[in-house]
Amino acid sequence: MDLTTIGGIILGFASLIVAFVMEGGSPLALLGLSAAIIVFGGTAGAVIISFSAKQLKMVGSLFSVAFKQQKLDNLAAIEQLVALATSARREGILSLEDKLEGMQDLFFKNAVQLVVDGVDPELVRSILETEIGYMETRHEAGVAVFEAAGGFAPTMGIIGTVTGLIHVLSNLTSVSTLGPLIATAFIATLYGVGSANLLWLPLASKLKQRSKEEILLREIMVEGVLSIQAGENPTVLDQKLKVFLAPRMRERNQDRKGAAATESEVANA
């Protein structure tokens, strides 16, 4: 599980509750079933109206993406590409066909297969970039669902508050209950604004970040595979693909190489 997503949500809602209690309020005063029905039910209804059934079916898997840690390792991908480049220079491009079975990433596997099949480099790039483009479009469609929920929720909160105030104003005979009823009416606004800014919009931002990370990995694979097809030197390829890495990741790469060299020296001693 991605602890940053879970921890952020818990911290956000806990901060609101703790601050409310510090001001003398009771946590039970924040509970409002009718407000929750209006805000969350109304938000769900508006989202359902806004999107197709096909898009809405993705919501469950999108929650999984947001709450689970992605197993993407750009450095490992570069090392694998360099290893493939070394093999291709020593034994030829066709030798890569034997390594296809061990590849878990379907995009990577298809990219290498295109090169092994001798497809024109420009066509290889076109096919792979088109696949990345459609993947990005699918990701944007999923993000749009959460962004829409973040936009509808505050409005539904206001609607809930207005309906609550209508009820209050229609029962002005009992002045003693006026204050609690008004406070209850504003719970809907709290639910709407709180859920939008602590749940829906942050989840949309998380999904955007996940998408960028996956697209970056795919771009590294495209450049690496095309370089292998062009017969580039593995050392040059390693330096070329490092451009995609942050400085700390490059240091990690150097540390790995240093550890590998030390192990080799020990083994040969």
Q: What pLDDT digit, counting tens, does each position of 156-173 carry?
A: 999 999 988 887 777 766
The DSSP symbol for 71 reads -
44: in domain: yes
Say if CB 223 and CB 67 are below 8 A apart. Answer: no
- Average pLDDT of the segment spanning 50-64: 90
Where in the sequence is the domain holding 227, given as residue range(s)?
Answer: 3-24+32-73+127-264
The structure's pTM equals 0.82
What pLDDT is recorded for position 255? Answer: 58
85: in domain: no
Tens digits of residue pLDDT in 172-194? 666 666 767 787 788 999 999 99
Say if CB 32 and CB 191 are below 8 A apart. Answer: yes
What pLDDT is recorded for position 175? Answer: 62
Q: What's the residue count for the chain?
A: 269
Tens digits of residue pLDDT in 214-250? 999 999 999 999 999 999 999 999 989 988 887 776 6
The DSSP symbol for 38 reads I
135: in domain: yes
108: in domain: no
The DSSP symbol for 231 reads T
Q: In angstroms, how far is CA 213 from the centroid of its own chain?
A: 8
Tens digits of residue pLDDT in 142-156? 999 999 999 999 999
106: in domain: no
- 241 contact partners, CB below 8 Å, separation of at least 6: 78, 81, 82, 220, 223, 224, 227
Domain count of the fold of the chain? 1
User: Does the structure show a pLDDT above 60 at 269?
Assistant: no
198: in domain: yes
What pLDDT is recorded for position 267? Answer: 44
What pLDDT is recorded for position 261? Answer: 43
- Average pLDDT of the segment spanning 68-73: 82
Cα separations in angstroms, 4 against 112, 114, 214: 35, 38, 18
- Average pLDDT of the segment spanning 122-132: 95
236: in domain: yes
121: in domain: no
